[in-house]
Amino acid sequence: MSKPLTPEQRQPKCARCRKHPVLADYRPFCSKRCADADLGSWLNGSYAIAGTPAEDAEDAPPGASPVPDEDDA
């Protein structure tokens, strides 16, 4: 059986590429490149946080088209 690693021996992997160890300056990423790529994914809309749909037009995010009522069809 192998011995457990000490905290000094453990090196977490990058949250983006999972290839390189994390650097303190860009934690939880290995580099500025991976940090910027992850930010780009958030800004691009590739990532989303699940939630309930907005029911009122004033609760909807800006730019979202309102859902037509059945009476309007």
- Reported as a single tens digit per residue, the pLDDT across 36-46 is 999 999 999 88
More confident residue, 23 or 63: 23
Instruction: Report whether 38 contacts 29 (CB < 8 A).
Output: yes
pTM for the model stands at 0.55
Produce one character per residue of 11-38: b if its CB has 16 or more CB atoms within 10 Å, e if not.
eeebebeeeeebeeebeebbbeebbeeb
More confident residue, 15 or 11: 15
Categorize the per-residue pLDDT at 54 as very low, low, confident or very high, splitting at 50, 70 and 90: low
